[in-house]
Chains A and B, each alone.
Chain A
């Protein structure tokens, strides 16, 4: 006879405030095989666990039901508790009478009845629990970081410093990301390149770091500790090993009509180019769409001028395969497209620019060598209007519902750049709210107003008109004075919303990492597991998880690295024993299961099996690779002969639960 113990937790008043716990205990005591039932204030506490252990000894319990919070919270606690007293941890069931009962119900009678039902279902299930034993898998001591911006670089450096190998995968021809484009950083106004490039060099020189630029993720399979990854190294059309990075090819290239991505379209680059002076690697790349040699077969200037004969028009993409124990997503952000905000004049007048374009215009290494000019006229502006929240906090189809978080601070920064260098230029910032939480942040924004004389106007900009001479007219509102304004600035800067990099969705599906409706990667728990994806072995770093500034990104990068190090430090991982299992006796070998398995964990194998009649025969049956199986249960649903079952959640167990409820 089974001996089931039922332990009903009060969770202080969380459960006991709505559920009559004593009534639950009395109800379950009447169920056959329940040898003991008790309630206690905090079952997860040391005292509570001792109560469970003592009961096991005293009543000879062989399986346990804990009626408490969600199994996500304390299932592990109670399994460990059982194990310590010699009961297989998989002989424990949790009835969630908090999140699914007391927290969502108000009426005590109703909640108590539901708690009893949930307890009965768990008891019905636990009768059919079998002891399960986790297997073990090896951990590959190497990490992959996808994205080579500040988030990816910092994560890689921290992992590498701990002694593990790390590869950085960057789709652009250089690492550095958005931070490389920025002129100065808030709230200290130190030069962005001056603090970023040493980290880029550190990463490039680190013995544990390998950098794959101009490369993309081609395929991923495997699981935590054992990912098999294929990387596509796109053809640069330049032999990196013999190129000296002299750049003469980039100077002589005659095809100069492509807007420079790095300079945000404010100047053109050649078809063969190095994005910026401190690029790593300092090896040019040929943009084959723009290159005359590739388009027409004529030209070949770069090949002629190259002193090292490094140009190779026949170079092909290369596929590299590597094994990794952990993967970090650090894919960063981009600015939203302003196509839908036609009334603001972006694209219609060159004197309406984005904040990122302003960074390039004020940057000494930028297209104007740091001289602030209006792109349409080439003249220094006399007045500048900065518009906040373009596309942020916008719930219509054209915007993003969230606050982009970094704009209020960089608007203050931009206003200060301009006023510092050009004290005669009038700067007006239109804002809805000024949001400056952060160390030294509000003080920074106030300096813009108090010391630099920047005009902050609470209100928004409406239509921006431009005439054929590049003159702008801006209609706006000043909410504090209740006035409708008409201004004639020379330059309008739009602080547009950030959004995740456009390949985030594709990567999410390749890695089975979750994304939210805005395509930001979702963390395993918003408070307690903020740098882990719900998919084991996938970690998150930087803007790809949500809007954040550089200090936050660097902190998160370090946190993600710590989690990766924690994983790589293990020699072996315990695998979840709740995997699918095939009953070979009745498996017909149709292999429907192999088609629905998202993890490629099932294969058809020809083997000798004992049939239901007791005879031996050789035929194809489904075999589950327990290391790959994630226990999703898709195969158990698809199997026409019901020969697939999920251990820990067998059909029998589930039906027993349902029967107990109905």
Chain B
């Protein structure tokens, strides 16, 4: 049985548990995102894609892997939508599938021994299952 794009979007929607129908596409999330300059699909477009059932757009975007979960988007959204939660839903959907891990412990960027545990735990939580 093949899962349709719409069904995939529905699953993402359930995971994200944020009410995208409230979005008025004002773009304040994208304006406030500190990594928007690194993203191929801006946060407001991620929200619209979910509303529009475009699961493939969401799953193919690099944006979730650049997102910092800093919650500036959700905090300043005038409608209480959380683009950060959509980023998380996409990340989880990707890393929960077979071979979906994004971070190879052996290929980490060089880091010095001052790097706090917190950073490693966070990164592995965000990029690997």
Contacts and interface: CB of A to CB of B under 8 A. Distances in A.
Asked if chains A and B are in direct contact (CB within 8 A), the reply is yes
B94 to A, nearest CB: 22
Among B28, B31, B37, B80, the most chain A Cβ lie within 10 Å of the Cβ of B31
A484 B79 contact: no
Interface stretch (B18-26, B49-57, B98-106): B18-26
Among A432, A484, A485, the most chain B Cβ lie within 10 Å of the Cβ of A484
Interface of B: 22, 24-28, 30-33, 36-37, 39, 42, 44-45, 72, 76-80
Contacts of A482: 42, 45
Interface residues of A, number: 22
B31 to A, nearest CB: 3
Nearest to A485: B31
A325 B27 CA distance: 52
A479 interface: yes
Interface of A: 343, 389, 393-396, 399, 432, 458-463, 475-479, 482, 484-485
Contacts of A479: 25, 27, 30, 44
Contacts of A396: 77-80
A399 B77 CA distance: 11
B36 to A, nearest CB: 4
A395 B79 contact: yes
Contact of A460 (B22, B31, B80): B31
A-B pairs with lowest CB-CB distance, top 6: A462-B31, A462-B32, A394-B78, A477-B30, A484-B36, A477-B27
A557 B16 CA distance: 49
A284 to B, nearest CB: 43
B24 A462 contact: no
A64 to B, nearest CB: 49
Contact of A432 (B26, B36, B77): B26
Contacts of B30: 459, 462, 477, 479, 484
Given A463-B32, A477-B30, A478-B27, 15 more contacts: A343-B76, A389-B78, A394-B79, A395-B78, A395-B80, A396-B78, A459-B31, A461-B31, A462-B32, A475-B32, A476-B27, A477-B44, A479-B44, A484-B30, A484-B39
Contacts of B77: 396
Contacts of A478: 27
B79 A389 contact: no
Nearest to A398: B78
Nearest to A478: B27
B28 A460 contact: yes
Nearest to B45: A482
B32 A432 contact: no
B22 A395 contact: yes
B31 A476 contact: yes
B37 A484 contact: yes
Nearest to B77: A396
Among B30, B32, B45, B72, the most chain A Cβ lie within 10 Å of the Cβ of B30
Contacts of A460: 26-28, 31
A462 B28 contact: yes
A478 B28 CA distance: 10
26 contacts: A393-B24, A393-B26, A393-B78, A394-B79, A395-B78, A395-B79, A396-B77, A396-B78, A399-B78, A432-B27, A459-B30, A459-B31, A461-B31, A462-B28, A462-B32, A475-B32, A476-B27, A477-B28, A477-B30, A477-B31, A479-B44, A482-B42, A482-B45, A484-B33, A484-B36, A484-B37
